[in-house]
């Protein structure tokens, strides 16, 4: 046992040396002439190693050397930005997913619904779909392990593994009296970057790009090629909403499909001069003049912002939606010992106008310990190719700001309680249908009956305010007339609430249609159905159809004079 402990400690010391080697690799060239800087590094490594060895050997209670090491590394990196992280061997598949867009799994997407971890969608062509796993299924056991109290990430790790390996799962399904057992085969899952492409209106193409792994540019190229073959492409919408980013090279590749060959797409600058690079388009664009709209939101980050910002700076397209996240930092993945890796921020990137879009200054905090953010009033102005004003920091500001419509308290509560999700499972199970053209009054009536069965209730904003007024009136000793008025108002609001289903019918219809289509056609069906009532997509379509307004917003009319 003592030999095993000594072996573990020896491996941890080697790991420290490996991390130290990575640090020296990044700083050695820069600091070769700075003896004092190198002395500080070596002295710090010595102190860190000594503290680690002394504590693991002599602390009053047993310490797991690997967890203690992880805590030390996390503590160091925690003083930097949140993107500089240590990745152990067990989480290495996340790097493969980021870079190559693939991992070993069974082909399901899981998430929390109604307080339980359930299958959200099933990927076409993989084992889970072939064996009959359905959206809404709740995992009970995976590989013999009870997963009832596990988090989604823990369950996800159980479903993943080496391609070709088997995993037995047991699921709970609505309409089935007993659990269902499946034997699934793990396969190499090729995650799609483009999750949907097609025409949203005659001549108006649409591409949803959800990540930037190595094949993102190829998938965008294929989507454009198919749309050009299937119709007259008069305008295109590139949807980057919810896209957290990925590879910088992939962002350049995607941008190159739309901008002139030789165009500067992005440049990077780090501490070392050799880290300064310029990335230009090296191919002829597939769509050089076709009007383009890019959709962004607060979850569009990193590589998404490179694409959106470059297309904006080069006056190649209009940005519609809401301001993007504001991540202007570049990470490099460095291999360490024992299959671990270090993802470290090594540079900032700058889009063609010369601006950085990084919002948070992670190296400076205010007196309360909160990271600093430059206020809008202090953001410097830059110019696009046509002379339009754009600003640094704080993400990409849209040319046409369009907030998503507030669905209202009833619809929000239906989502929170997963009742659209649950009813879609119920409806498809009961009707065994494989198609639906619209949500009919019959379907709506069935949903209303389902809500009654589930004893659904929610609180209107007006109800909340009246209750607050009642408390104020009581504390202030208002007269009986005020109390009577509030009672009458409560009754009137109650009558209005009783017809809330009718008031929210349009939103309910749209949400039901999206969820049912997700059961019938998986994620492709969900996206296709959602586009019909998407305010930002409809705004983009309107701009692309109104060529004069599109040109005006692009500054093309002024530029041509």
Asked if 221 and 284 count as a contact pair (C-beta separation under 8 A), the reply is: no
Asked if 333 and 95 count as a contact pair (C-beta separation under 8 A), the reply is: yes
294: which strand partners? 238, 319
Going from N- to C-terminal start, the domains of the chain cover: 2-79, 102-190, 194-332+344-401, 409-458+504-541
Catalytic (active-site) positions: 302, 313, 327
Alpha carbons 108 and 122: distance in angstroms, whole number: 5
Give, as one character, the DSSP assignment of residue 180: E
Which structure tokens are listed for 362?
């992670």
Residues 6+ apart with CB under 8 A from 16: 45, 48, 49, 52, 69
Query: Locate tokens 């206020």: which residue?
Result: 375
Residue 275: the pLDDT is: 66
Closest to 489 measured CA to CA, from 510, 468, 505: 468
CB atoms within 10 A of CB 389: 10
Asked if 307 and 324 count as a contact pair (C-beta separation under 8 A), the reply is: no
Q: Tens of pLDDT along the chain (561 residues)?
A: 444 434 444 444 444 444 444 444 444 444 455 788 888 899 999 999 999 999 999 999 999 998 999 999 999 999 999 999 998 877 776 777 777 777 889 999 888 887 788 888 888 889 999 998 988 899 999 999 998 888 888 888 889 888 999 999 999 988 788 999 999 999 998 889 999 999 999 999 999 999 999 999 999 999 999 999 987 899 999 999 999 999 999 999 999 999 999 999 999 999 877 768 999 999 999 999 999 999 999 999 999 999 999 999 999 999 999 999 999 999 999 998 888 899 999 999 999 999 999 999 888 888 787 888 888 888 999 999 999 999 999 999 999 999 988 888 999 999 988 899 999 988 988 887 767 778 999 999 999 999 999 999 998 888 889 999 989 998 998 988 988 999 999 999 888 888 999 999 999 999 999 999 998 888 889 999 999 999 999 999 999 999 999 999 988 754 443
Which architecture characterizes domain 194-332+344-401 according to CATH?
Alpha-Beta Complex (3.90)
User: β-strands 204-209, 318-321: how paired?
Assistant: unpaired
Q: Give how far the C-alpha of residue 534 lies from the chain's centroid of Cα atoms, to the nearest Å.
A: 18
Q: How far apart, in Å, are the Cα atoms of 187 and each of 102, 181, 367, 416, 489? A: 10, 19, 51, 33, 61
Closest to 250 measured CA to CA, from 295, 289, 209: 209
Closest to 220 measured CA to CA, from 243, 244, 190, 192: 192
Alpha carbons 146 and 65: distance in angstroms, whole number: 28
Residues 6+ apart with CB under 8 A from 190: 101, 102
Per DSSP, the residues of 440-509 read: -HHHHHHHHHHHHHTT-----HHHHHHHHHHHHHHHTT--HHHHHHHHHHHHHHHHHHHTHHHHTHHHHH
102-190, what's its fold? Pdz3 Domain (2.30.42)
Q: Residue 259 half-sphere exposure, CB side, CA atoms within 13 Å?
A: 28
Exposed/middle/buried for residue 545 (C-beta within 10 Å: 0-12, 13-18, 19+)? middle
């Amino acid at each position: 046992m003592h030999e095993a402990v000594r072996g573990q400690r020896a491996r941890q010391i080697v790991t420290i040396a490996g991390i130290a080697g990575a640090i020296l690799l990044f700083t050695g060239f820069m600091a070769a002439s700075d003896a004092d800087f190198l002395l500080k590094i070596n002295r710090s490594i010595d102190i860190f190693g000594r503290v680690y060895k002394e504590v693991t050997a002599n602390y009053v209670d047993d310490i797991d050397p690997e967890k203690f090491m992880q805590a030390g590394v996390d503590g160091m990196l925690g003083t930097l930005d949140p993107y500089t992280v240590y990745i152990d061997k067990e989480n290495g598949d996340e790097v493969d997913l980021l870079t190559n867009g693939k991992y070993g799994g069974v082909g399901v997407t899981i998430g929390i619904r109604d307080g339980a971890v359930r299958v959200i969608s099933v990927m076409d062509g993989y084992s889970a779909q072939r064996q009959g796993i359905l959206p809404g299924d709740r995992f009970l056991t995976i590989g013999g392990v009870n997963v009832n109290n596990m988090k989604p990430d823990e369950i996800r790790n159980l479903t993943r593994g080496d391609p070709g390996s088997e995993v037995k799962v047991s699921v709970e399904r609505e309409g089935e009296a007993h659990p269902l057992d499946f034997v699934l085969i793990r396969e190499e899952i090729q995650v799609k970057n483009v999750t949907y492409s097609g025409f949203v209106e005659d001549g108006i193409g649409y591409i949803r790009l959800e990540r930037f792994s190595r094949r993102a540019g190829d998938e965008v190229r294929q989507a454009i090629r198919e749309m050009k073959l299937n119709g007259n492409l008069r305008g295109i919408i590139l949807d980057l909403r919810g896209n957290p980013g990925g590879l910088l090279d992939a962002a350049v590749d995607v941008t190159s499909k739309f901008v002139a060959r030789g165009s500067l797409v992005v440049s990077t600058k780090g501490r070392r001069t050799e880290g300064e690079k310029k990335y230009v388009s090296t191919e002829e664009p597939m769509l050089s003049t076709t009007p383009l709209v890019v959709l962004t939101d607060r979850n569009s980050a990193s590589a998404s912002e490179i694409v959106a910002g470059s297309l904006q700076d080069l006056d190649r397209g209009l940005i519609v939606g809401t301001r993007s996240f504001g991540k202007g930092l570049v990470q490099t993945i460095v291999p360490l010992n024992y299959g671990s890796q270090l993802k470290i921020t090594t540079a900032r990137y700058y889009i063609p106008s010369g601006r950085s879009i990084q919002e948070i200054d992670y190296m400076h905090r205010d007196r309360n310990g909160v990271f600093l953010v430059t206020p809008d009033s202090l953001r410097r102005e830059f110019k696009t190719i046509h002379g339009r004003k754009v600003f640094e920091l704080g993400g990409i500001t849209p040319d046409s700001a369009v907030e998503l419509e507030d669905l209202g308290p009833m619809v929000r509560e239906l989502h929170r309680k997963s009742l659209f999700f649950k009813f879609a499972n119920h409806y498809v199970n009961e009707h065994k249908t494989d198609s639906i053209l619209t949500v009919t009054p019959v379907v709506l009536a069935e949903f209303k009956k389902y809500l009654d069965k589930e004893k659904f209730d929610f609180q209107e904003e007006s109800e909340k305010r009246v209750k607050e007024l009642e408390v104020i009136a009581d504390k202030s000793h208002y007269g009986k007339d005020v109390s009577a008025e509030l009672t009458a108002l409560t009754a009137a609001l109650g009558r209005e609430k009783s017809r809330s289903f009718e008031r929210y019918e349009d939103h309910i219809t749209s949400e039901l249609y999206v969820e049912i289509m997700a059961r019938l056609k998986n994620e492709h069906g969900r996206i296709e159905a959602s586009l019909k009532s998407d305010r930002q997509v409809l705004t983009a379509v309107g701009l692309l159809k109104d060529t004069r307004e599109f040109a005006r917003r692009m500054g093309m009319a002024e530029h041509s004079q």
